[in-house]
Every structure is written in structure tokens, then in C-alpha cells.
Amino acid sequence: MKLQQRTDFALRALLFLADSGGATPSTIAKAHGISESHVGKVMSALSSAGFVDARRGRGKLTTLARSPDEITVGAVVRALEPLELAECFGTESECSLTSACELQDVLGRAGAAFLRVLDTATLESLRSRRTKGLVQVTQAPRRD
């Protein structure tokens, strides 16, 4: 499954906010090389989903609405992705095989397994892994 660019931007922005404690959309855009327009749309979606508190106006900081250990990658993906792995998952499905097709069950279980794994990762756990990795890299023994 490939996540939409918007979801990728959202996860990066959330991690940035978790690290910084708050930032303007402009700061997030510059830090990640993303247009301010894209960041604004992503922040709006994240605000609507209850992940961030977005303040309006110049210089107003956007902050996480919850603690980084309460926001899972799975919750963010569910909020931003359509998650219809095939046409038969949609409400407007026109597939004539839906009633006799076993593929829907298999794809449904695969999608559920994917989300279960994403539910195990919180913003805090991702930050901890990244920090741990950086410490290991900076403390690696020298090879002379």
C-alpha cells in the first residue's frame, strides 16, 4: 500500500511539532521543503481530525492537540487515507463479482494487519527510535 503524499507530509509535520513543541506552517514548510499551501491544507485536515490545534493569523503556532504518545501512525493514516484497497471496498462498488469474490476478504485482512502494525507506532516511539539511532551513530567507534 502506498500512502498519499498528503499523509506523508502530515506524518512529517506531526513529528516536527512533537520535536519542536509548536511551529508555524511556514516553519514546517521550510524545514521539509514543502510548499506553504500544501502544509496549510495538511494542517487543516489534521486540525479537523483532532491531531493539532491550529491557530489562525501570522506568527501563531500550531501545536499537537494530544501528547505524542497518544497519537498513533495508524490513527493518522485512517483519518487521511481512503483505505479502499479495491473498488469492492467502496460504497459505490459496481463489481458484479463482489458477492462471490474471495479477494475482498483477503484484501480486507491484509489492510487490517497493515493498520494493526501502524497502530503500534506513536509519534513518541518514532522520536525515541530516531534519537536512539542518532546517539548510536554519533557514538560509533572510529575505524582508523
User: Which whole-number Å values give the CA distances from 126 to 57, 69, 135, in the listed order?
Assistant: 30, 10, 14
Q: What percent of the chain has pLDDT over 70?
A: 76
Position 144 in a domain: no
Determine, yes or no, domain membership for 88.
yes
Res. 20: pLDDT tops 90: yes
Note the pLDDT tens digit of each residue in 62-71.
999 999 999 9
Domain that holds residue 101: 5-138
**Would you say residue 39 lies in a domain?**
yes
Residues 119, 116: Cα–Cα separation, whole Å? 5
Domain annotation covers residue 107: yes
Instruction: Work out how many domains the chain is built from and give that number.
Output: 1
The answer to whether residue 99 is domain-embedded is yes
Confidence of residue 114 (pLDDT cuts 50, 70, 90): very high
The pTM is what? 0.80
Q: Is residue 30 part of a domain?
A: yes
Q: Is residue 143 part of a domain?
A: no
Q: How high is the mean pLDDT of the chain?
A: 84
CATH code for the domain of 17? 1.10.10.10
